[in-house]
Amino acid sequence: MGTTHQYEVVIVGAGPAGMCAALYTGRSMLRTVVLERGMPGGELLNTEKLDDWIGEQSILGWELAKKFEDHARLFGAEFVTANVTTVSRLDDGTFATVTDTGDVYRSPAVIVTAGGTPIKLGIPGEQEFAGKGVSYCAICDGAFFRNQTIAVVGGGDAAVEEADFLTRYAAKVYVVHRRDSFRASKILQERLFANPKIEVVWNSVAEEVLGDEQGLMKGLVIRNVETNATSTLDATGCFIFIGFRPNTGIIDEHFDHDPMGYIVTDAMMQTSIPGLFAAGDLRSQLTRQVTTAVGDATTAAIAVEKFLKARSEGTEIDPRGSGGYAV
């Protein structure tokens, strides 16, 4: 039997958005808890270093994550290791955030910053050889492939950046992309094309992961989408970066979303469910960077403060999103 806890704000997820939101709600003297199933940091823990965090020419992902956490704690935010299963709105308009241990966190406002989960290819051998050659995290597993030949599947920023990163370990990296050009930013592409260890396999898709008698990956079957010809890359590793699905399944009520399932919010980061706010990678937007995540979170946290004040006074927040109150 779980325990019921009372907070003014519950934040689901401790990535950059969650920790930034916690900093601001803490500064506003709101009793805040951040629920995270793992270590605080989110995708920062899967990023070796950043060169686009303003004010830092280069900073390690885990180092920035620790700075975020320490700063949020400084303003009173509590961090609890918990796996959230549902966020439900109750009859009185407040929320019950439930964990897999049965604990319930009651609050009048919730900020969901749960990020996303890597999308899988869904090909034969992918699940069988997960952790035995197949990976979705270069910084986590790259060191296991020293002097080996590996494949990276994808063509966006993550795929191109991680392929470049993996060359510090691997002898050769194939980048398998279904189109004849990358979607990644130009600066990342320039780095990739300048790297002699990388070979791009254009207009191709992964069809099957092959393994040896020891249960380890030994090759990747690919198919050219123009000719339908198949071939095999002699690769002992396959890193898959084809996108993320927003972790919105915990929300136990219909909410407005885009065709990809990302949450649509108003200018104050409030979802179509009053009192439920969203920030970071699970929100529908043009780009998903640390800078945009913390921008979302700043707005969400300040909006939550105004929402709670308006709720206690029996008024409403100005629907124009000005930060004032309706008269």
Do 24 and 97 lie in one domain? The reply is: yes
Q: Annotated catalytic residue: which of 52, 70, 100, 140? A: 140
Do 259 and 215 lie in one domain? The reply is: no
Q: Annotated catalytic residue: which of 20, 141, 157, 164? A: 141
From 225, 240, 255, the end of a domain falls on: 240
pLDDT tens by residue, 20-54: 999 999 999 999 999 999 999 988 887 777 888 99
The verdict on residue 322 lying in a domain is: no
Domains identified in the chain, total number: 2
Residue 28 belongs to domain spanning: 4-118+244-313
Do 224 and 154 lie in one domain? The reply is: yes
What CATH number has the domain bearing residue 51?
3.50.50.60
317 pLDDT band, cuts 50/70/90, is low
Do 249 and 227 lie in one domain? The reply is: no
Quick one: which of 156, 150, 116 has its CA closest to 134? 150
The verdict on residue 125 lying in a domain is: no
The verdict on residue 171 lying in a domain is: yes
DSSP 230-287: EEEE--SEEEE-S-EEE--TTB-S---B-TTSPBP--TTSB-SSTTEEE-STTB--S-
From 240, 265, 291, the end of a domain falls on: 240
How far is 257 from 235, CA to CA, in rounded Å? Answer: 39
Do 235 and 263 lie in one domain? The reply is: no
224, 203 contact by CB (below 8 A): yes
Q: Annotated catalytic residue: which of 103, 137, 252, 318? A: 137
Do 173 and 254 lie in one domain? The reply is: no
Do 30 and 109 lie in one domain? The reply is: yes
Do 217 and 249 lie in one domain? The reply is: no
Do 15 and 34 lie in one domain? The reply is: yes
Quick one: which of 81, 59, 73 has its CA closest to 13? 81
- CA torsion, ordered 181, 282, 208, 140, to nearest 10 deg: 100
- Work out the percent of the chain whose per-residue pLDDT is above 90: 80
Active-site residue flag, 238:
no
pLDDT tens by residue, 284-307: 988 788 999 999 999 999 999 999
- The whole-model pTM stands at 0.78
Do 30 and 100 lie in one domain? The reply is: yes
The verdict on residue 289 lying in a domain is: yes
pLDDT at 77 > cutoff 60: yes
- CA of 15: how far to CAs of 64, 101, 278, 283, in Å? 11, 22, 13, 14
Do 164 and 309 lie in one domain? The reply is: no
The pLDDT score that the predictor gives to residue 322 is 44
Do 50 and 151 lie in one domain? The reply is: no
Mean pLDDT of 186-205: 97
From 219, 240, 261, the end of a domain falls on: 240
Burial of 215 (0-12, 13-18, 19+ CB in 10 A): exposed
Place of tokens 């409030």: 270
Active-site residue flag, 91:
no
User: Which residues 6+ apart lie within 8 Å of 223 measured at CB?
Assistant: 204, 205, 207, 229, 230
Measured in degrees and rounded to the nearest 5, phi and psi for residue 246 equal -65, 135
pLDDT tens by residue, 266-282: 999 999 999 999 999 99
The verdict on residue 300 lying in a domain is: yes
- Work out the percent of the chain whose per-residue pLDDT is above 70: 96
The verdict on residue 326 lying in a domain is: no
The pLDDT score that the predictor gives to residue 5 is 97
